[in-house]
Structure 1
Amino acid sequence: MAYQALYRTWRPQKFSDMVGQEVVTKTLQNTIISHQISHAYLFTGPRGTGKTSAAKIFAKAVNCLHPIDGEPDETCELCLAANQGSLGDIIELDAASNNGVDEIRQIREDVNYAPTQAKYKVYIIDEVHMLSTGAFNALLKTLEEPPANVIFILATTEPQKIPATIISRTQRFDFKRIDAQAAYDRMVYILNERGSSYEEAALRVIAKAADGGMRDALSILDQVLSFGDGRATLENALLVTGSVRQNLLGEYVQAVVAGQTPAALVKVTEVLAAGKDANRFIEDLISYARDLLLYTEAPDLISLVPDDNFDQLAKNSQPATWYEMIDVLNETQQQLRFTNRPSVYLEVLTVKLSQGRTSRQSKNLPVDKISAQPVNDQVALKKTPVQPVSQAKASTRSSIGNEQPDQEKEPVASQQVAQTARQVENGSSVQAVARVQVGEGAAAVFQVLQAATRGDLSRVQTIWAGMVNMLAVPQQAMLNVAKPIAASPEGLVIAFDYDVIRVNAKKDQHLLAKMVQEIRVLSEAKHDRSMVFITSDEWPKLRATYLKDHQVGHQDKPSQPAANDLEAVTESVEPDASVENDTVVTEAEKIFNQDLIETTDD
């Protein structure tokens, strides 16, 4: 006989064989014992939880000639025929491939005929949510006025797609996900019956990977046995499921909690080198942190300590550590859906977890109070003067064109951007969180434009969406109406569609610090960029003013090649024929993205 998969060979034949659905099976047994059998049932729940198996057992039990406490006796001719699939009065229909009106009309005609052998004619319609609207309407009539000897059992994983008129005419049973311990016990029973050797740790890995589905657990077990020549080992289970060893997870979590970034990054490298999936690694970390949280609050809920580091981590850390870690892991899991380089996000995640704990703990404190540095360091920080604009920028300004008006040369305090501090724990000393200042106005914009290049703008635009996705939802909402419009190696101009949002974003120090840090990391820059916030309405006026102030200088004296040669680092742009000789338009196309240039005739 051809080999059958484990989930088929060990499909439950009685209600007592079913795993994790005690409420459903007990109710169905009592229905048979009391002879209170309804004409229609709806079985709903996740995949692989026993819906179809329960339907088959119920169909067999109601027709059994000698039922025992609501269970089929498995010896009468009807039970044997049902097990062999030769009992014509039990009809299974797959609604995914038979979802038309014609199939349901055929059922409406067939139900009028009495059963040939059994007491009841039972229709099991699997994936019933796949029926068309017309098919549902045709089925509704039969459910309203069913014959006395007909039973319908509808099974689905998506009950929300079934019309309420259908649901209201059925008895609904919700199948729950199967507990990992119950799945583990079932696999132990099957392997013992088969005489196969196994490691308990391997079965626990499989039970967790199955995520509440008994059929999935048996399918994975089948793979592990095939891979290991009939033996279920932990190493084979990890290879088949793509899971990460518990010891490695424990070492990684211990490193990030202790703030040991290099050690944690080494563990990430090991995970990626082993070919593990980034999403699976995040899921395993969430599960590990969840177990730590439960073990900290209610140790009795965790029956098995995963590794040697687990108990020590639970005793030495507060519960807040774990649910904050889970929040960060959930955010990263969402971001992984939009990237082709998951390794970058895992590395950023590792740095964030190991170096950002103080920031997360201080999330609700005023920014000027967020500090764990000694008082002397704080005083030194306050006395340190803000660095003025570099003289290199001034020389660049003089080479591009005429001197700026006095009001544009005046130093503007808002132009100065304090370098975003990284909260790196180093013994008992932690760096203070510097306040991020944002520039605004013409002078701040012009300082960025003096060194602006097309390459810098393109790099920021490339990572902008990824940076926004790494923020909290309220912060994402603010930056969804903003975009970078000019960039230099040291500065960035961001335009907001609404001034009120620009003002709110400027006040949000956590948002600003996050933006500065992520833009530096994702764009692989050597240092932070200062930021200038303006509105989209201001941008055309500031752009026109800047070009006008530099027009005469370019006409009288061509620009000399510089380190940031705009012609070399930007794409060549063909100007419109009507303005081909217009110096202003040509210069604008060199500095800005062509999409931002708009020409009008006065």
Structure 2
Amino acid sequence: MWRPQRFDDMVGQQVITRTLKNAIITHQISHAYLFAGPRGTGKTSAAKIFAKAVNCHHSKDGEPCNECETCKAITNGQLNDVIEIDAASNNGVEEIRDIRDKVKYAPTQADYKVYIIDEVHMLSTGAFNALLKTLEEPPANVIFILATTEPHKIPLTIISRVQRFDFRRISAKDSFERMKYILDQKKVQYDEKALWVIANAAEGGMRDALSILDQVLSFSDNQVKLDDALLVTGSVTKQLLKKYFLQVTSNQAAPALDTMKQILGEGKDGQRFIEDLISFIRDVLLYQESPDLIQIASTGLKESEFTELAQAADSSVLYDMIDELNAVQEEMRFTTHPDVYLEVLTVKLAQPHQHINEQTSPTSTDSHAIKELEKQVRELQQQVKKLSQRPVVAPTNTSQAKHPANAEQANTPRVHQRNVRVNLNRVYPVLETATKKDLVNIRDLWGDMLNMLSVPQRSLLHVSQPVAASPDGVIVAFDYAFLFQQATDDSTLIKAMEDGLQKLSGDERRVVFVPKDRWPQIRHDFIQDHGFGNSAPAAAHSAASPDASQAAEDSSADAEQSAASAEEATKDPNDPVAKAHQLFGEDIVKVEDN
């Protein structure tokens, strides 16, 4: 398998390689490093290149020459001063004590003795303690490079004594470009569509991509063809997926069954078919949201085809399809007859979506009900107008009176809002005890928590972030409504997140999801619904507006006014400004006099 021999050969880790090269150029080399990240992203390769660069007497711009005896010996694994250890099979105290004893001796051939410990999270507690002693009192001319795919399992005492570098997943585009470069160097013929299939199947691992590429080259007699790439990866052709998708969305069950049988007849795995179909529908959803969200070249389809697919079904239909596919995927894990499930699934997907037709074409009964509701809204608006003209505003219990504009909007049938339901009964309890300190703590743990999840779960949370937290809960906002709905329905994801946060923080926290575009209104309604009335409209508005919070940070006059208001609010714990400070932090809330 092709391995990078220089920092510039590494794919997708430019920030890390630039930092390491600068450290070598300026002779600011640390005694210990931690390379963390998913498998196949270049951690071990970077460690070997670094070992060569620090020991090469002919290095240029922080890069090893790869020509001298030292570089060649390290490349071939023949230099005694560069020791690679697999912690999965050498994880006991005795092995680490042996390292601690030998590390005292000076290097025999190179300038630095380099220990590369792979999968370091597999070390036992006793072994970590033995390693800690060495890291606390590092000998001269010794460098430790620890590599791991699970950094959350490494004790904090170890992490605090190393320089940590987080390797990110390789994008499909970077994998595609690297495979093109390698095949051009070897003068091998290839189909670019085949390379995109391999890049997507590798799921962010460059090593996996190159391994699949080697399989395809062996299978195709030193060529890379689309059909062979699909066969090796088990993927379904995009044209068959497109054909199947258009058939089920146009309610053609019989042709869709024939297409599905054709896919299975080619030897495709049922589970892989569902995964590819979910990914296909996801691309269509993103294209509906904004064509810029996907790279069309990587999908194997043309833009004109995406335009056709985006018009084939409403987003709410696609949500339902993904829900059905996820449910069937779970059920198929325990059956020996996946084709039966797929047949039933196909018929179900091809059924007309009545609830969508009813909304887009309301019956006369629905029209009458809508008119009655509109009449009630107008009456309520008139009552609110009269009440607002009185000296004392009487409280009202109806949500329509509070937000007449929202009430009128709620009666307008809109299909895409049907599936976006926020459970305020779970959101409000978190907000009642939320503090800025808890939110900061959760954000500090967020990256480690994501590393504890599976790859599909991490990809789903890629466009989310925690926006509020309490000692027993956290609220997570999603950039896109359809991803929010998918996460809300995924009980396995919620359980994994709650377990991860408990392991990292030691506290049990329930996880609640909200759409990002609804979050400001939820905060605003919470403040009003909990008895703040009109006393702090500026605070509520500022809490709901990131731009206002930024203005508060930039303006010294506003900052002084916020500080004075916060000091005054501490005198009364029931004061609305004090509550807003407690929920969102003094640096977020801006108080203005009306």
TM-score, normalised by the number of residues in structure 2: 0.58
Query: Quick one: which amino acid aligns to residue 322 of structure 2?
Result: I
Q: C-alpha distance in 1, partners of 2:489/2:339?
A: 21
Q: C-alpha distance in 2, partners of 1:160/1:179?
A: 23
> Secondary structure at the residue paired with 1:329?
helix
Cα distance, 1:372 vs structure 2:
6.4
> Match for residue 74 of structure 1?
66
> Secondary structure at the residue paired with 1:198?
coil
Question: Where in structure 2 are the equivalents of 1:97-496 lying within 5 Å?
Answer: 97-300=89-292, 301-304=294-297, 306-307=300-301, 309-355=305-351, 357-359=353-355, 361=356
Question: Is 1:24 aligned with 2:35?
Answer: no
Question: Where in structure 2 are the equivalents of 1:523-602 lying within 5 Å?
Answer: none
Query: Quick one: which amino acid aligns to residue 96 of structure 2?
Result: I
The one-character-per-residue Cα deviations of 1:103-152 (angstroms, maximum 9, x if unpaired) are: 10110001101111222111000111111121111111111111121111
Q: C-alpha distance in 2, partners of 1:246/1:138?
A: 53
Cα distance, 1:330 vs structure 2:
2.5
> Secondary structure at the residue paired with 1:97?
coil
Change (3 A) 1:167 1:35: same
Q: C-alpha distance in 2, partners of 1:120/1:258?
A: 67
Contact 2:119 2:149 in 1 (8 A): yes
Cα distance, 1:356 vs structure 2:
5.7
Contact 1:282 1:329 in 2 (8 A): yes
The one-character-per-residue Cα deviations of 1:342-382 (angstroms, maximum 9, x if unpaired) are: 222222222232216334x59xxxxxx88969669x9xxxx
Q: C-alpha distance in 1, partners of 2:490/2:56?
A: 58
Change (3 A) 1:331 1:33: farther
Q: C-alpha distance in 2, partners of 1:106/1:185?
A: 43
Unaligned runs of 5+ in 2: 368-487, 492-594
Unaligned runs of 5+ in 1: 1-6, 363-368, 379-470, 475-602
Contact 2:249 2:312 in 1 (8 A): no
Q: C-alpha distance in 2, partners of 1:57/1:122?
A: 11
Query: Quick one: which amino acid aligns to residue 222 of structure 2?
Result: G
> Secondary structure at the residue paired with 1:173?
strand
Change (3 A) 1:334 1:23: farther
Query: Quick one: which amino acid aligns to residue 330 of structure 2?
Result: Q
Change (3 A) 1:331 1:116: same
Contact 1:294 1:302 in 2 (8 A): no
Contact 2:117 2:145 in 1 (8 A): yes
Q: C-alpha distance in 2, partners of 1:296/1:472?
A: 22
> Secondary structure at the residue paired with 1:203?
helix
> Secondary structure at the residue paired with 2:116?
strand
> Secondary structure at the residue paired with 2:115?
strand
Contact 1:120 1:149 in 2 (8 A): yes
Change (3 A) 1:373 1:261: farther
Q: C-alpha distance in 1, partners of 2:329/2:28?
A: 49
Q: C-alpha distance in 1, partners of 2:187/2:351?
A: 50
The one-character-per-residue Cα deviations of 1:218-243 (angstroms, maximum 9, x if unpaired) are: 11111111111111111111111111
Contact 1:96 1:131 in 2 (8 A): yes
Cα distance, 1:21 vs structure 2:
1.0
> Match for residue 86 of structure 1?
78
Q: C-alpha distance in 2, partners of 1:266/1:375?
A: 39
Q: C-alpha distance in 1, partners of 2:283/2:275?
A: 12
Query: Quick one: which amino acid aligns to residue 311 of structure 1?
Result: T
Q: C-alpha distance in 2, partners of 1:31/1:96?
A: 30
> Secondary structure at the residue paired with 2:274?
helix
Cα distance, 1:472 vs structure 2:
6.2
Q: 2:3 aligns with which of 8, 11, 25?
A: 11
Query: Quick one: which amino acid aligns to residue 147 of structure 1?
Result: P
Q: C-alpha distance in 2, partners of 1:125/1:295?
A: 44
Change (3 A) 1:371 1:319: closer
- Bigger proportion of residues as helix: 2
Query: Quick one: which amino acid aligns to residue 134 of structure 2?
Result: T
Cα distance, 1:97 vs structure 2:
1.2
Q: C-alpha distance in 1, partners of 2:54/2:265?
A: 56
Q: C-alpha distance in 2, partners of 1:372/1:61?
A: 69
Q: C-alpha distance in 2, partners of 1:108/1:261?
A: 68
Question: Is 1:40 aligned with 2:32?
Answer: yes
| Structure whose alpha-carbon radius of gyration is higher | 1
Contact 1:42 1:171 in 2 (8 A): yes
Contact 1:126 1:154 in 2 (8 A): yes
Q: How many residues align?
A: 368
Query: Quick one: which amino acid aligns to residue 178 of structure 1?
Result: I
Contact 1:126 1:155 in 2 (8 A): yes
Q: C-alpha distance in 2, partners of 1:171/1:140?
A: 14
> Secondary structure at the residue paired with 1:169?
coil
Cα distance, 1:328 vs structure 2:
2.9
Could you tell me the percent identity over the aligned residues? 62
Contact 2:284 2:306 in 1 (8 A): yes
The one-character-per-residue Cα deviations of 1:417-458 (angstroms, maximum 9, x if unpaired) are: xxxxxxxxxxxxxxxxxxxxxxxxxxxxxxxxxxxxxxxxxx
Cα distance, 1:259 vs structure 2:
1.6
> Match for residue 405 of structure 1?
none
Cα distance, 1:325 vs structure 2:
2.9
Contact 2:196 2:300 in 1 (8 A): no
Contact 2:250 2:312 in 1 (8 A): no
Change (3 A) 1:473 1:13: closer
Query: Quick one: which amino acid aligns to residue 166 of structure 2?
Result: D
Cα distance, 1:331 vs structure 2:
2.8
> Match for residue 526 of structure 1?
none
Contact 1:48 1:216 in 2 (8 A): yes
Cα distance, 1:99 vs structure 2:
1.1
Q: C-alpha distance in 2, partners of 1:326/1:69?
A: 50
> Match for residue 53 of structure 1?
45
Contact 1:32 1:61 in 2 (8 A): yes
Change (3 A) 1:241 1:153: same
> Secondary structure at the residue paired with 2:35?
strand
Q: C-alpha distance in 1, partners of 2:41/2:134?
A: 28
Deviates more, 1:287-296 or 1:36-45: 287-296
Q: C-alpha distance in 2, partners of 1:101/1:64?
A: 33
Query: Quick one: which amino acid aligns to residue 111 of structure 2?
Result: K
Contact 1:228 1:236 in 2 (8 A): yes
Change (3 A) 1:472 1:43: closer
Query: Quick one: which amino acid aligns to residue 351 of structure 1?
Result: V
Deviates more, 1:343-352 or 1:43-52: 343-352
Cα distance, 1:14 vs structure 2:
0.3
Cα distance, 1:296 vs structure 2:
2.3
